[in-house]
Amino acid sequence: MLRPDRPDDDGDQVALMVLGVRTGAEGGNVKYRSFGNLDWQVSALGFGCMRLPTKNGREAIEEREATRMVRAAIEGGVNYLDTGYSYHGGNSEPFVGRVLEDGYRERVRVATKMPSWKIAAWDDFDQYLGEQCERLRMAHVDFYLLHGLNRERWDKLRKLGVLEWAEGAAAEGRIGYLGFSFHDKYEVFKEIVDAHDWTFCQIQYNYMDIENQAGRKGLNYAASKGMAVVVMEPLLGGRLVAPPKPVRDIWKEAPTERTPAAWGLQWLWNQPEVSAVLSGMSTMEQVKENVATAGRSGVGTLSDEEVSIVQRVREAYEELCPIPCTQCNYCMPCPHGVDIPRNLEIYNEGIMYEKPESARRSYGFLEEDKRASACTACLECEDQCPQGIAVSQWMTQVHDVLGKGESFARSLRPS
């Protein structure tokens, strides 16, 4: 039986009033959806605990405000919290353990993720799960994901026996259900889906990423297997929240007025294959808006005209893309180690979403020998590019803009 809710202080009560939800255990605004073949209904909106309000930088959580936000979301009906070993520099899991005290633990299910990149031996599986349970103050984890699978990580974990270990951990009651999060190509995704009787997966998916990574094909394939599909990056890391003027003009033509964030979320919830959509909320205002939006969610809630509007928005963003790279990878491998498609992608996104500083940060995250600055203009890639892109010239431009801080340009200046 759920315990009555006991907000810690007047701040919690104010947060609930702002959301416009009832404060009793029966309160709640969001809609619920099937979670694959599991006999459980998940809230359409899940709370991603990786972009919580912080103090003194990104890692230290502003705990009082974050607690108000998470508990207010739960009062609004959110019953799925997502965290991970590395979020907020390792502070997210301990925070989730504390925020779910006072009766909130019984009202949600918690998902966390194995730090796949840290696993080197069989014993590491138990070591990290034990540490995570201790951080979370839980005897077991409801939903446990293999974090950020790609070809390399999947091959490594499978050789170490991760599936056999997980079956044992589930039999012992240490994990409830096994899933994975994913960042690679569809072919790798399909292989992973087919390798095990997974309960769920988590993919990057939004109206701009329908053909990227797992994409719509992956969404449909996993759902056809009875898996729940949890969506991350529904707003492309915030890039779709503050659109450029050509996109704003299209949204204004829509028959229903919504914020860009609400459009992105409703486009996802309109699809029956989507089980839950994660939002990494950073402010109470975002919690308020997203809970309210989730209360209006549902399959088939967008008209054909509205779906067409979203398609036009996608096309408008694509028209803003300066470099016609299709990520076909014919230019790879570069003999000098440059990650050509990624450099072009970062540059394109800086212009498309009007996020120059975000693009510069992404460029900085690349290993130095993979950056555009390592290009020697050997032109081997240009002979292979189906789009006829002047790669060597663009590599100079990319580094000048992203590495040296020069202004973006939609086309190369005449040489």
Supply φ then ψ for residue 122, to 5 degrees. Answer: -55, -45
Could you say which of 248, 279, 311 is where a domain stops? Answer: 311
Q: What is the pLDDT of residues 148-164, one digit of tens each?
A: 999 999 999 999 999 99
Half-sphere exposure of residue 33: CA atoms within 13 angstroms, side-chain side: 28
Name residue 354's amino acid: E
Question: Which pLDDT does position 12 carry in this prediction?
Answer: 40
Per-position DSSP letters for 184-246, written without gaps between them: S-HHHHHHHHHTS--SEEEEE--TT-TTSTTHHHHHHHHHHTT-EEEEE-TTTTTTTTS--HH
Whether residue 46 is predicted with pLDDT greater than 60 in this model: the reply is yes
Question: Which pLDDT does position 58 carry in this prediction?
Answer: 67
Whether cis (ω within 30° of 0) applies to the bond prior to 335 is: no
Shared domain check, 150 and 97: yes
Shared domain check, 160 and 55: yes
Whether residue 208 is predicted with pLDDT greater than 70 in this model: the reply is yes
> Do 100 and 4 form a contact (C-beta atoms < 8 A)?
no
Question: Which pLDDT does position 139 carry in this prediction?
Answer: 95
Shared domain check, 295 and 237: yes
329 or 114, greater pLDDT:
114
Whether residue 307 is predicted with pLDDT greater than 90 in this model: the reply is yes
Question: Which pLDDT does position 412 carry in this prediction?
Answer: 64
Could you tell me if residue 317 is inside a domain? no
Half-sphere exposure of residue 397: CA atoms within 13 angstroms, side-chain side: 22
Shared domain check, 240 and 138: yes
Shared domain check, 307 and 366: no
Whether residue 108 is predicted with pLDDT greater than 50 in this model: the reply is yes
Shared domain check, 307 and 353: no
Could you tell me if residue 230 is inside a domain? yes
The C-alpha atoms of residue 124 and residue 148 are separated, in whole angstroms, by: 17
Q: What's the whole-number mean pLDDT along residues 190-207?
A: 98
Q: For residue 258, what is the domain's CATH number?
A: 3.20.20.100
Whether residue 235 is predicted with pLDDT greater than 60 in this model: the reply is yes
Shared domain check, 339 and 250: no
Greatest alpha-carbon span in the chain: 72
Element (H, E) at 142: strand 141-149
Could you say which of 267, 286, 311 is where a domain stops? Answer: 311
Whether residue 189 is predicted with pLDDT greater than 80 in this model: the reply is yes
Q: Average the pLDDT over each of 81-85, 92-96, 321-325 and give the range with the smallest value.
A: 321-325
Shared domain check, 329 and 284: no
Q: Average the pLDDT over each of 36-45, 51-60, 232-241, 394-403 and give the range with the smallest value.
A: 51-60
Could you say which of 263, 283, 311 is where a domain stops? Answer: 311
Could you tell me if residue 384 is inside a domain? yes
Shared domain check, 223 and 85: yes
| Structural domain containing residue 404 | 323-415
For the chain, helix, strand, coil in percent to 5 are 45, 15, 40
329 or 79, greater pLDDT:
79
Q: What's the whole-number mean pLDDT along residues 265-292?
A: 97
Shared domain check, 406 and 269: no
Could you tell me if residue 316 is inside a domain? no
* Percent of all residues in the chain with a pLDDT value above 70, rounded to a whole number: 92
Question: Which pLDDT does position 411 carry in this prediction?
Answer: 67
Q: What is the pLDDT of residues 384-414, one digit of tens each?
A: 898 899 999 999 999 999 999 988 877 664 3
Q: Average the pLDDT over each of 57-71, 194-208, 210-224, 398-412 and give the range with the smallest value.
A: 398-412
Question: Which pLDDT does position 66 carry in this prediction?
Answer: 98
Shared domain check, 276 and 337: no
Give the other-Cβ count within 10 Å of 338's Cβ: 25
Residue 25 banded pLDDT, cuts 50, 70, 90: very low
Shared domain check, 209 and 350: no
Q: Average the pLDDT over each of 88-97, 197-206, 377-386 and give the range with the smallest value.
A: 377-386
Could you tell me if residue 2 is inside a domain? no
Half-sphere exposure of residue 87: CA atoms within 13 angstroms, side-chain side: 26
Residue 332 banded pLDDT, cuts 50, 70, 90: very high
Could you tell me if residue 370 is inside a domain? yes
Q: How many domains does the chain have?
A: 2
Could you tell me if residue 318 is inside a domain? no
Could you tell me if residue 368 is inside a domain? yes
Q: What is the DSSP letter of 84?
A: -
Question: Which pLDDT does position 324 carry in this prediction?
Answer: 86
Question: Which pLDDT does position 27 carry in this prediction?
Answer: 39
Q: What is the pLDDT of residues 218-228, one digit of tens each?
A: 999 999 999 99
Whether residue 359 is predicted with pLDDT greater than 70 in this model: the reply is yes
